[in-house]
Structure 1
Amino acid sequence: MTLYNVNYLEHYADRFIELGLRAYGLSLEQYLPNPQLIEQLYLQQDHRPLLPQQRQVQQQLDAHQPQRQVEHLPQRNGSVIEPLHHKRRNKRSHHKSDFRRKLSCR
């Protein structure tokens, strides 16, 4: 266990609270040995962790995300259906793959 000067401890404890480093999952004991490095690593991130209310909203949005991905698709009785595009060949069509026609022409 490391003992810290009272002035050092008060200054960096206040700074720890001011920066809200608890939200990153850090404890004061982890922060005190090298506060400059911790601040540099954690505060260079683009965003802070979500607050509890924000986490709840994010979870609700994530729960509805799969439903939003299929809303635009055609549905029947609540189930998504895939429209089939049949390309039927007419029996009377004379294509290159019509072997009967080729045999009768010779």
Structure 2
Amino acid sequence: MVKFGLIRGGIKGGVWLNKWWGLWWICIPIFIVSYIYSMIISSKIVYLPQSECKPKFIFTPQDVQYCSDIYAIDVFLIALKTNPIIYISILTGLYIMGFLVFVLINKIRRRK
């Protein structure tokens, strides 16, 4: 019996995979919402005055003329400091990628 076209070998394997698929479908909206929210919040640093944004720089040189010239890694690190919701985005994104790798590995194993 084939469940979702991924695992052959009976109902037991398919039921186990169905539970993981349910969790996967829950993670996708959580990832998208938290990612969009974090990008909106972290992009607000561009509009800060230079006196407020320059002390937050970690990797960006202090001699940049505009806050919009900040390095992407600095935007990410500042967003992690100010908005803990980004951790949810990271964790759900890692779960989604890990699950897809798991499914692909199982699919490749079953073909042999």
**TM-score (normalised: structure 1):** 0.26
- Report which structure shows greater RCO (CA 8 Å, sep ≥6): 2
**TM-score (normalised: structure 2):** 0.25
Bigger Rg over Cα: 1
